């Protein structure tokens, strides 16, 4: 059983990865390494018809799924704390969608856990993106590269 401090949030409100970093860096005892990943809505310049993204999820399952993924990471590597926040609802270009932060005594553990969580989240956490376009709405297709990214942890 891992003793990592795990914090999960699924929310329509904006969040700040800078603030997440500050909290993780103030863990006790002081961690040697803090890694944060932030996924943002990319500039939609290459398709001017896209106005925003809409994030749907499966309430109840989403939180359980993220908790399970974070616990798996904490059982694979020596981790002090994990923070994970994912937005739902409407998001404009440049806005953060997801942030994962990991505090550990060691940098390799912090990097691995952070990447592992993102790779599993992309494949297993029940979120769906829809493009809101000037010419209608379009569900985003899943990517084969995300499936491959998850599989590299399973050897």
- The footprint of a copy of itself (CB under 8 A) covers 16-19, 21-22, 25-26, 28-43, 45, 93-94, 96, 105, 107-108, 110-111, 114-115, 118, 145, 149
75 binds, among other proteins, a copy of itself, none (CB under 5 to 8 A by kind): none
- Kindly state whether residue 141 participates in binding other proteins, applying the rule CB under 8 A: yes
- Kindly state whether residue 39 participates in binding other proteins, applying the rule CB under 8 A: yes
- Kind of pairing between the strands at 81-87 and 5-11: parallel
Spatial contact of 70 and 8, defined as CB atoms under 8 Å apart: yes
Please report where in the chains the tokens 């923070």 appear, as a residue: 83
Using the 8-state DSSP alphabet, how is residue 46 labeled?
T
Instruction: Dihedral sign for Cα 142, 143, 146, 147, please.
Output: positive
- Kindly state whether residue 15 participates in binding other proteins, applying the rule CB under 8 A: no
Strand partners, 130: 54, 139
Q: Which one of the spans 23-31, 41-49, 61-69, 74-82 is the region binding other proteins (CB under 8 A)?
A: 61-69
CA–CA distance, 111 with 154 (Å, rounded to integer): 17
Which residues sit at the interface with other proteins, rule CB under 8 A? 39, 55-58, 60-61, 64-65, 86, 97-98, 118, 121-130, 139-142
């Amino acid at each position: 059983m891992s003793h990592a401090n795990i914090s999960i949030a699924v929310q329509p409100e904006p969040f700040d990865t800078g603030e997440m970093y500050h909290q993780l860096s103030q863990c006790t005892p002081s961690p040697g390494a803090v890694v944060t990943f932030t996924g943002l809505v990319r500039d939609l310049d290459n398709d001017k018809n896209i106005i925003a993204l809409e994030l749907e999820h499966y309430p109840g399952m989403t939180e359980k799924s993220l908790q399970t993924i974070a616990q798996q990471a904490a059982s694979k590597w020596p981790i002090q704390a994990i923070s994970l926040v994912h937005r739902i609802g409407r998001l404009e270009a440049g806005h953060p969608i997801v942030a994962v932060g990991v505090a550990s005594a060691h940098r390799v553990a912090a990097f691995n856990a952070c990447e592992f969580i993102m790779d599993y989240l992309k494949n297993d956490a029940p979120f769906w993106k829809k493009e809101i376009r000037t010419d209608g709405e379009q569900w985003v297709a899943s990517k084969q590269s995300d499936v491959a990214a998850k599989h590299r942890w399973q050897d």
